[in-house]
Amino acid sequence: MARWLIAALLCLACAAAQASAPRDAYPSVARAYWVEIDGRPTWAGQPDQPLPMASLAKLMTALLLAEHGQLDGTVVVSRGAAAATGTRLGLRAGERFRASDLFTAMLVRSANDACRALADWRGGDLATFVAMMNTRAAELGMHDTTFANACGHDAPGQASSVRDLAKLARAAMAEPLIAADAKREDFAFKSLDGRAFSVRSTNALLGQFPGAIGLKTGFTPGAGRCLIALAERDGHEVLAILLHAPDRWWDTVALLELAFDEARRTPAPGAR
């Protein structure tokens, strides 16, 4: 093939890649952010920067549990789970729960004690479960991600990028159990010994932003306020991810509205 033709083809490939690359249109919304419209990366800032992701890590915990597919078992709360800090249910060491109930509580309320109890139960111990998380991240092509714990606590080596979190979000929402729990506004359940619990979602968009169907909130001092938001409207879907966002709720609402406006203006692939 002639050199001029090879060069021309390379130029066309570069131009196509640049045209499809997400644009940093809103750099002030977060330290890193990512917006997809109908699966197409549209806007992003610092997409490959590894940053603490707080409880967004629980999506990987949920993914492993959903893929394992045996949430009808009984979880006995470990001492480590009972001692979990941050957002929690107040589980007691030795209490028994249906795994499916703790799974839902982990996603709805972002409960660290429920998360740790499930990780101990599924992995046998926390270190084994974290190794499973890192293996699954590598399988998903999450090259900027490492996990040091199951629930999102600040720790050396606990980091992900918004591009990687988009991959995780897509994999998680492909699991019906996660998709169903991600849009729950509240959840009531009991331990197998009869202690009652009632929790409300940490996701303020549910029931307030038209079309919101998930997905996960997070906060730690190191990560700041984080959010993965997913919404559907008028046949379009928007995914927005913010890490270390000073005003995550209003800025996410603005991004979602702008994205839906963009979706209405942009013809679907193949349309004429």
SS3 45: strand
Q: Is 190 a catalytic residue?
A: no
Phi and psi torsions of 43, nearest 5°: -130, 145
- Two structure tokens written together for 146: 């490492």
Strands 224-233 and 212-220, how do they pair? antiparallel
**20, 28, 58, 167: the active-site residue:** 58
- CA–CA separation, 93 and 32 (whole Å): 38
Angle (nearest 5°) at CA 245 between 202 and 167: 75
**20, 28, 55, 216: the active-site residue:** 55
**78, 110, 160, 201: the active-site residue:** 110
Q: Is 216 a catalytic residue?
A: no
- CA–CA separation, 18 and 77 (whole Å): 50
Radius of gyration of the chain (CA): 20
Q: Is 55 a catalytic residue?
A: yes
Catalytic site residues?
55, 58, 110
